[in-house]
Amino acid sequence: MSARMPPEPVGPYVIGWAVLLLLLGLSVLAAYEPIGPIFQPIVHFGIAATQTAIVFILFMKLRGRPSLKWVFAAAGFFWLMFLFGLSTVDYATRSGFPLR
Amino acid sequence: MFSGRLQEQYTDSTQQSETAQLGMWVFIATEVMFFGVLIFSYMIYRVAYPEQFRLAGHDSFILLGSINQALLITSSLTMVLAVRAAKADQQRALVLLLGVTAALGLAFLGVKGFEYAKDAAAHSVPVVDYIFKPGEHRPTEIFWCFYFVATGLHAIHLSVGIALVLILLVRASQGAFSPGYDAPLEVIGLYWSFVDCVWFFLFACIYPLGRAGP
Amino acid sequence: MSAVDIGMAGAVPRSYLGEEYTLASWLFTRDHKRIAILFFVSITVFFFIGGFAAALIRLQLLNPAGTLFQPEVYNRLFTMHGIVMVWFFLIPSIPATLGNFLLPLQIGARDLAFPRLNLFSWSLFTFSGLWAIYFIFIGGNDTGWTFYEPYSSNFANGHVIVAAVAVFINGFSTIATALNFVVSTHRLRAPGMTWFRLPLFVWAIYATSIVMLLATPVLAMTLALVAIERFWGVGIFNPVLGGDPILFQHMFWFYSHPAVYIMILPAMGVVSELVTCFARCPIFGYKGMCYALISIAIIGFFVWGHHMFTAGISLTSAVFFSLMSFIVAVPSAIKVFNWTATLHNSRISFDAPMLYALGFVGLFTIGGLTGLILATLSADIHLQDTYFVIAHFHFIMVGGTVSAYFGGLHYWWPKITGKRYPEMWARYAAILTFVGFNFTFLPQFILGYLGMPRRYYTYAPDLQTWNVLSSAGASILAVAYALPLIYLGWSLFHGKRAGPNPWGATGLEWRTSSPPPKQNFPRTPVVTELPYRYDPRDGSYTTQDGVHFAEPTLGEASV
C-alpha cells in the first residue's frame, strides 16, 4: 500500500467540473425563461440533483460495484421521500392551510 | 488529530481508511436529513404562497449566488485533485491544491458576506430590517427567513470544512500524507464535496424564483 | 462453572479498570468500556433529577386542590421531567452504557471504529447536560417536552432557547454514537461472525442506531427553527404571519416517534439476551426477531401522525397513519410471541435479571396493546391528551425500557465491574419495581378513560382515589429504584469476585475475563457457531468449541 501509484487521469475530473459549470449556466438561463410554476422547480431541482449525482459519482467516487457506501449515500435521500411524501398527504388533503 | 498510525482495532491501513470513509458517508446521510427537512419546510410554504415567494425570490442576487456556486464547484475539483496528488506522492501539488481549496472556500464566504450586506441594504432581513416591497405580504418574510437560515447553516458547515482543510494543509506541509496514508484527505474531501452539493439545492430554492416573465 | 476457554493461557491480564487510575485517564479515555461508565454516571444523575421532578408531580396530584405548587411551576415541572427523562436518560440509557460496553465485545472487536468520536460523543452529552442543568437552575420553561408551536416561540414562559440548545447538542451526541455503532457492526466483526451469528442485542443496537441517524437531524433542525422563531419573531410556524403550526408538529414528530423506538429497541435486545440465558434456551425464531427489529425501525418512521390526530391534520392522512400504527404493532407482537415461546418448556431460573425481563414482557405487552387503542381514530378523539396516553407511554418506557435497562445492568454487572451483586436484594428490588410500577400507572389508564387531562395541575375531585393510589405507587417505585443504587454500589467494594462467565451464558463478552482487559480479547476470537447454543437436553453451554481464538499475529500483544 505504500507503493507510489501512477496518478489517475485528471481528464474526467476536469470534464466533470466543466459539466457542472454548464449545468449552473443552464440553471441561470432557465430562471429567466417563463416555464411556469410547475416546471420551474422540476427543472431547477432536476439540475441540482444531476449536479449532485455527478459530484457523488465522480468526485466522491461512488462508482464501481454497488457497495455499502451506496446504501448510505442513498439512505438520506430515500428517507427524505418518506418525510416529504407522508407530510404531503396531509397538506394535499387538508383545507385549513394556507389560511388566506 | 490525524495520527497516521494504525489504530489497534484495525488489521491494516486500507481497512482503516475504508472504514473512515464509510463513517463519513453515514454522517453525510444525517446531513441530508438535516438540510432536507429545512428544504421540505421551504417547499411547503413555496407551494402555499407561490406568488409571494416569487416576489421575494426576485430580490435575491442571482449573480452572486452563481459566482458562489462556481467557486464551490471549482473547489470540489481542487479538493479531489489534492487527494489524487497524495495518492501519487506529489507533496507540493497536494499542499498547493489544499491551499487553493481553502482559498476558494474563503472566497465563497467573502462573496456571501458581501451578499448579506446587499440584502441588508435592500431591507430584506426579516424583523431586523425588513420593508415590504409592493405586493408583498408576510409570507415573503418566511422566504427570507429560510434564506438566512439555510445559507447561514451552509456557511457554518463550509467554515468547518475550511478549518479542516487548513489543518490538512498544515499536516501535508509536514509530510504527513503519503500513498499509504491519505484517509483524512479522502474523508474531508467527501465532506467538502457534500457541502458543495447542499449549495446546488439551496441555489435551486433561492435564486431562480421570480425572474421569468414581466 | 467449567473451564471456559477465554483465549488466555496463564495469568489473567490487567483489567480495563486497572489500566490507569488518574482522573485524566478517565475523562480523556478512548476505551469504549470506560466511556460506557462515564455515560452510566451521567445518565444516572439525570435519572434521579427527572425522577425527582416526577416525585414532585405526584405529590402535587395527591389532592385536587393543587396547592402544593403554583400552576406555572407545575407546568415547568412536567416539562423538566419530560425533557430530562427523554433526552438525558432514556435515549442514551441502554445504547450509550450497555451498547458502548458490549457492542465491541459481542462482535469480537477490540474497540469501536472511531474511539475518539466515542469520547467526543460523551463530551457533547456532558456539555448538553450542563446546559440542561443550567436550564433547570434558571427555572426551566412551561412548553412541555414537545415544544408545541406557536406557544413555544411566541407565548411560552421561561427559557425555551436554552432548552432547545441543550437538546440540539444532545442530538449530536446521539448521532456520533450511532454512527460509531453502525460502522463498527459493519466493519469490525470478528472472523466468522456473520450477521446471523450476532447476538440479538447487537441487532437491536444496530437497528436503534439507524433510527438515531435518520431521525435526530430532523429534530435538530426543528428545534433550531423554534429557537430562531422565538429569538427573531419570524413567522415560520406562526399562523398570524402565514406559518403553519402543524408543520412544526410534522417535523417534530417525524423525529419523536422514531425516538420512542430508539428507546424501546435496545430494551428488546436486552430482553432477548436475558430470556435466552435464564431460560437456558435458544431464542425462538432468531431470524424473525432480527427482521422484526429492522421492521420496527423502518415502519416506525411512517406512523408519526398518530400524535396529531386531533391537531388538525386531514382525515385522509389520519387514516393512513392509523393504519401504519396498527401495522407497526405486528413485529412488536411477534417479538413478544417469540420470547414467550422461548420460555415455553424451558428451565427458567428466576434470577434478578430474569425478573426484570419477565416484567418487561408483561408490561410492554400492556403498553403495546393500549397503543393500539390510541391508534384507533375514534378512541383517540376521547383519549388524546388524557392520562391514558401518559399511562400508555410510561408502560412502554418505564415498564419496558427501564425494566430492561435494570435487567441488563444486573446481568452484565459482573462483566463490567468484576463483582457479583447480592442476589436476594436484587430480586426484592425487581419485585418491588414491578409492584410499585403497576400501582403507579395502572390507575392512570382509568383516570384517562374517566377523562382526566394530562399536564393539568389539578383535576376533578371524584378522581382523587385513583390519583392517590398512583402517587402511593410512585413512592414504592422510588424505593425500588433507590435500592439498586445502594446494593450495586455496595457490591463494588464488598461483592464477590466474578469469573469470566458467572451465568454460563453464550456470547463473546463472556469469553474474556471479568472485567475485560483494555483490548477486550488478547487473541482474536473466531466464531463458527450460531448464537444461543444452549444444549436442548439440559440447557448447558459447555460445548464451547463454537468459538476459538486465533494465534497472536506479529505485533499483537498476547497475554
pLDDT in tens, chain B (214 residues): 344 455 666 667 777 888 999 999 999 999 999 999 999 999 999 999 999 999 999 999 999 999 999 999 999 999 999 999 999 999 999 999 999 999 999 999 999 999 999 999 999 998 888 899 888 888 899 999 999 999 999 999 999 999 999 999 999 999 889 888 889 999 999 999 999 999 999 999 999 988 875 4
Angle between helices C160-187 and B13-48 (to 10 degrees): 140
Q: Is B129 helix (H, G, I), strand (E, B) or coil?
A: strand
Which of C221, C230, C231, C209 shows the shortest CA–CA distance to C251? C221
Chain C residues with CB under 8 Å of A68 CB are 186
pLDDT for residue B214 = 44
Rounded Cα gap, residues C548 and C193, in angstroms: 12
Question: Which chain B residues touch A17 with a CB distance below 8 Å?
Answer: 73-74, 76-77
The distance of A92 to chain B (nearest Cα, Å) reads 10
pLDDT of amino acid B8: 63
- Helix boundaries (H) for C10-114: 23-27, 32-60, 71-85, 91-92, 100-107
Closest among C220, C250, C226 to C238, alpha carbons compared: C226
Closest CA in chain C for residue A76 = C214
| Nearest chain C Cα distance for residue B92, angstroms | 30
- Say yes or no for a CB contact (<8 Å) between B37 and A72: no
CB contact under 8 Å between B85 and A7, yes or no, is yes
Residues of chain A below pLDDT 50: 1
User: What is the model's pLDDT at position C543?
Assistant: 61
Enumerate neighbours of C (3 or more CB pairs within 8 A).
A, B
The SS3 assignment for C525 reads strand
Q: Closest chain B residue to A96 measured between Cα atoms?
A: B48
Q: Do A1 and B13 touch (CB under 8 A)?
A: yes
Alpha-carbon separation of residue C336 from C308, C343, C497, C553 (angstroms): 28, 11, 35, 44
Give, as one character, the DSSP assignment of residue C312: T
Is C313 close to A68, i.e. CB distance below 8 A? no
Which of A71, A78, A83 has the most C C-beta neighbours within 10 Å, making it the best mutation to test the interface with C? A83
- Chains in contact with A, where contact means 3 or more Cβ–Cβ distances below 8 Å, are B, C
Alpha carbon A70 to chain centroid distance?
Answer: 14
pLDDT one digit per residue (tens) for chain C, 559 residues: 334 556 555 566 788 888 788 888 889 999 999 999 999 999 999 999 999 999 999 999 999 987 899 999 999 999 999 999 999 999 999 999 999 999 999 999 999 999 999 999 999 999 999 999 999 999 999 999 999 988 998 888 889 999 999 999 999 999 999 999 999 999 999 999 999 999 999 999 999 999 999 999 999 999 999 998 898 877 689 887 788 999 999 999 999 999 999 999 999 999 999 999 999 999 999 999 999 999 999 999 999 999 999 998 999 999 999 999 999 999 999 999 999 999 998 889 999 999 999 999 999 999 999 999 999 999 999 999 999 999 999 999 999 999 999 999 999 999 999 999 999 999 999 999 999 999 999 999 999 999 999 999 999 999 999 999 999 999 999 999 999 999 999 999 999 999 999 999 999 999 999 899 998 998 889 998 889 988 878 888 876 678 888 876 544 333 2
pLDDT of residue C10: 59
Tell me the HSE value of A74 on the side-chain side, using a 13 A CA sphere.
9
Angle between helices B183-206 and B13-48 (to 10 degrees): 10
- Inspect the interface and report whether the beta carbons of C305 and A76 lie closer than 8 Å: no
Enter the pTM of the model.
0.94
Taking one residue from B and the other from C, the number of pairs with CB-CB distance under 8 angstroms is: 106
Residues in B closer than 8 angstroms to C183, CB to CB, are 19, 22-23, 26
Please judge whether A87 and C301 are an interchain contact, meaning their C-beta atoms are less than 8 angstroms apart: no
Q: Measured between CB atoms, which of B33, B77, B201 is closest to A76?
A: B33
B189 with A24: Cβ contact below 8 A: no
C113 touches chain B (CB under 8 A): yes
| The dihedral sign for the CA sequence B2, B8, B14, B16 | negative
Q: What is the pLDDT of residue C1?
A: 35
Yes or no, beta carbons of C220 and B26 under 8 Å apart: no
pLDDT of residue A36: 83
The answer to whether the Cβ–Cβ distance between A6 and B44 falls below 8 Å is no
Best to test chain A binding among C195, C206, C213, C214 (most A CBs inside 10 Å): C214
Q: Does the distance separating the beta carbons of A80 and B32 come in below 8 Å?
A: yes
Residue with cell 382523587: C464
Angle value at C-alpha A71, between B83 and C272, nearest 5 degrees: 125
pLDDT given at position B213: 59
What is the least distance, in Å, from the CA of A74 to any CA of chain C?
12
pLDDT of residue A1: 46
